[in-house]
Every structure is written in structure tokens, then in C-alpha cells.
Amino acid sequence: MITENIDRIEERILKACERAGRKRSDVLLICVSKTKPDEMIVEAYDHGQRNFGENKPQEMRDKAARLESLKDINWHMIGSLQKNKIKYVVPTAVLIHSVDSEELALAINKEAEKKNVVSNILLEVNIAGEESKHGFKKEEVLPAVMELAKLKNLKIRGLMTVAPETKKPEENRVYFKDMKDLLVDINSKNIDNIHMDCLSMGMTGDFEIAVEEGATIVRVGTGIFGERNYEV
Ligand SMILES: *Cc1c(COP(=O)(O)O)cnc(C)c1O
């Protein structure tokens, strides 16, 4: 089932790229494996997938340790991160998507310095201004980037958003456009150390629209691994 699901999602990403005049290689698919067992991850890996997303620091650390023999697997942290859990994701995660405050970024920089690595991060933007969502407000992003650009053990690679839940993915197009505009705008300021090349947006319900609007990373869980059961 997982292999068929991946093929179907791959096909839809390809079509969305074609519609937008983009290359398939410009979009990275992350298989969001949170709550799912190792066997499913291995099945996706054996079918060619190399990028996996987790939202719980310890779960990521434990899966990464158990699947250590898969040398070229990449772990992405996509869930909200508390400061005392940073040690579990630095340096395991190739990219931390969910940096939602300057304070958190400073703490990641500190842990990365301690471990003598550079952490790749994205700033999470609450692009629709939802009450319930984490992330920087749109107008807070540029000042944050200017501040964080000076840190030696952080590399700000781009922006991430979780668009509103909706039955009509077309409704999120405006937010994906806003994200792209924000990225282009910040890049145009030519801030030292800053060239953002990642735009992480689009999930099972709306990834095609996100690709059409410039996503370079899409995060698909349900569409690949099926519904999640948080009870078990
Ligand atoms: C769970 C999750 C996803 C995947 O969601 P699906 O709708 O299952 O594709 C993507 N991004 C984040 C931040 C998530 O927490």
C-alpha cells in the first residue's frame, strides 16, 4: 500500500511541477512518519524515499538510532520544539522546520555551538494569523532574520508554514503566494549570510497548490502512510 501511495503522490507532484513550469528536482518530498512504526519507514526507504519528518524530538532520536544502518536517510524536525528537547534533534535533524521564536533559534545555536556543528533551520510563519498556530507573524520575520543572521552555528535556509485546515485546498493558494513573496522580499534585502532557498509548505490536503506557488519542500503524511491513530 505504501509503495502505491508514494507512486501516486510522486505522480501528482510531477504534474503540479509541469503545470507550474518547474522541474521535479526542485521539490523535495518529505514522508511524514510521525506515530508510524519503523517497518513503514523502511518500506518507504526501500521504495527510494530518503527524507522523513517527525514532530516529537524523542521519537525522532529513537527512530534515528534504531534505523542507523540506513546511512543516507535524512530526518526533518517539523513539530514544535521545547528548549529542553533541542539536544535530541541537534545534530540528528538535517533541517529543523519549526523554529517559531528568536529565543528558540538562539537556544539551537547554543546547542549547535556546543556540539561544533551548524544547524540548518527554517523559520515557521503563521501566515494566516491563526490564533491556534505557532510561528512568527509575517511582519516579525524580517527583523528576526536580521537578528539571527549573525549567529555562527545557525544557517537560516528558508521559511515554513502550516496552512489552515480546509476542505478546499484552493483557499490556501493565497497563503502560499504570501509565503513565496515574503521569501523573495527577504532575499532581496541582501542581508549578510542570508540566501534562503527553502520554502516548506503543503501537506496531504494541499501540496499540489503549494508546488504550483513555489514550495521547494512538501510534507506528506496521511497520503503516504494512511491516517494516524494518536491513541496508541
Ligand atoms: C503531521 C504534519 C504534516 C503531515 O500532515 P498530513 O496532512 O498527514 O500530510 C505536515 N507538516 C506538519 C508540520 C505536520 O505536523
pLDDT tens digits for range 151-204: 999 999 999 999 999 999 999 999 999 999 999 999 999 999 999 999 999 999
Q: Pinpoint the alpha helices (H) of the chain.
A: 2-20, 38-46, 57-66, 86-89, 102-114, 138-148, 173-187, 207-212, 222-225
pLDDT of residue 116: 98
230 — pLDDT class (breaks 50, 70, 90) = confident
Q: Which residue is listed with cell 528548549?
A: 83
223 CB under 6 A from ligand 1? yes
Q: How far is the CA of 165 from the centre of ligand 1 (A)?
A: 11
Residue 232 clears pLDDT 70, i.e. is over it? no
Mean pLDDT for 54-61 is 98
User: What are the DSSP calls for 55-78, one per residue?
Assistant: S-HHHHHHHHHHTTT-TT-EEEE-
Please give the Cα distance from 118 to 94 (Å, whole number).
Answer: 10
* 220 within ligand 1 shell (Cβ under 6 A): yes
Q: Is 5 in the pocket of ligand 1 (CB under 6 A)?
A: no
Distance, CA of 34 to chain centre: 13
Mean model confidence pLDDT for the chain: 97
The confidence score (pLDDT) of residue 229 equals 85
Q: What pTM value is reported for the model?
A: 0.97
The C-alpha cell 496552512 sits at 163
Residue pLDDT, tens place only, 97-118: 999 999 999 999 999 999 999 9
- Bridge partners of residue 54, in order along the sequence: 77
Average pLDDT estimate for 59-63: 98
Q: pLDDT, tens digit, for every residue of 156-171?
A: 999 999 999 999 999 9
The band of 146, judged by pLDDT with boundaries at 50, 70 and 90, is very high
Q: How many angstroms separate the alpha carbon of residue 4 from the centre of ligand 1? A: 19
Q: Whose CA is nearest to atom 13 of ligand 1?
A: 78
Ligand 1 atom, smallest distance to 222 CA:
8
Q: Is the pLDDT of residue 67 over 60?
A: yes
CA 231 to ligand 1 centroid distance, Å: 17
pLDDT of residue 145: 98
